[in-house]
Structure 1
Amino acid sequence: MRTLLIVHHTPSPNCQALFEAVVFGATAPEIEGVRVVRRAALTATASDVLAADGYLLGTPANLGYVSGALKHFFDQIYYPCLDETRGRPYGSYVHGGSDVTGALRAIETITTGLGWRRAADPVVVTGEPGKADTEACWELGATIAANLMDAS
């Protein structure tokens, strides 16, 4: 069985709505043979990353950057996982009040350094999430999980 690790920082109802949609997509009934593990960014470890076959990253955009919690996650796992996780697929979603450009750039830069492969376009949401936003997050979760299912 393949493992999808969802690493998220979910400090607000808006982020919670996106996180839940991602989880529902990743655990949809048509997804078979993929175990979904959810970890808050401050508790996710290098062991979690090494045990997973793909990743979904969720963060608010804080002061034009990823949350401190997601940055802490990357700081903790970067070198222990650098050589072992190259080529693994990932997806991401970012919520912000307005501009999320810096957060997206940070995720892209860090995952490029890790050698991870972006398997879906990021979902970007500003303001209160609407139906289209949660549907996009559902699709993101389903896409990344299906990518792992097909790789089994």
Structure 2
Amino acid sequence: MKQLLIVWHSRTGAARQMAEAAARGARSAAAQLEQDADLRVVLRRAADAEAGELLASQGYLFCAPENLAGLSGEMKEFFDRNYYAVLDRIQGLPYACAISAGSDGAGAARQAERICTGWRLKAVAPALIVNMGAQTARQILAPKTVAQADLAKCEELGGLLAGTLLLG
């Protein structure tokens, strides 16, 4: 059985919704391939994700908000806490990133991509950045609802990872 680990952090709900949509997409792709018994999808909040789960997985999706032009602190702490424990033990495995952003998201995507490059993971797609359009303090801190079109993109990304794991 292959395992896809989806590590997420969210304060306002957007990145959580994106991670859940990717998980749905991965499960749906596995079912369409008639291999749903061959794929385990694990959703794990960044604060709770451990090196053992990274080592037990064959693919990854990292889903987080951009905060102040970088990864959110909790997602960065996940990478800091687990980086050396899995270094040289997960190289070559597929991954993707999904970033929720107020307007840009490129800084967080670059930061995650640099970390994954250090792990020598293989990107299956460019980072998916969902622009929530939040610009004021009130908008930034408010609970978010991700548009269906953006959730569909997250489902596609999860499906791509599932297909990569199951057919690769």
Residue 71 in structure 1 maps to residue 88 in structure 2? no
Q: Normalization by structure 2: what TM-score?
A: 0.85
The one-letter code sitting in structure 1 at the alignment partner of 2:97 is S
| Corresponding residue for residue 26 of structure 2 | 26
The one-letter code sitting in structure 1 at the alignment partner of 2:149 is A
The one-letter code sitting in structure 1 at the alignment partner of 2:155 is W
Identity in percent: 38
| Corresponding residue for residue 59 of structure 2 | 54
Contact 2:19 / 2:43 at 8 angstroms: preserved in 1?
no
- Structure 2 counterpart SS, 1:60: strand
Q: Distance in 2 between matches of 1:83 and 1:20?
A: 29
Query: 1:123: how far off?
Result: 1.2
Contact 2:101 / 2:131 at 8 angstroms: preserved in 1?
yes
Contact 1:9 / 1:70 at 8 angstroms: preserved in 2?
yes
Residue 138 in structure 1 maps to residue 140 in structure 2? no
| Unmatched runs of 5 consecutive residues or more in structure 1 | none
Q: Distance in 2 between matches of 1:27 and 1:5?
A: 12
Corresponding pairs, count: 151
> Of residues 49, 52, 60 in structure 2, which corresponds to 1:44?
49
| Unmatched runs of 5 consecutive residues or more in structure 2 | 133-144
C-alpha RMSD of matched pairs (Å): 1.2
Query: 1:4: how far off?
Result: 0.5
Q: Greater shift after overlay, 29-38 or 76-85?
A: 29-38
| Larger gyration radius, structure 1 or structure 2 | 2
> Of residues 146, 150, 156 in structure 2, which corresponds to 1:129?
146
Q: Which of structure 1's runs of 4+ aligned residues deviate more than 3 A?
A: none
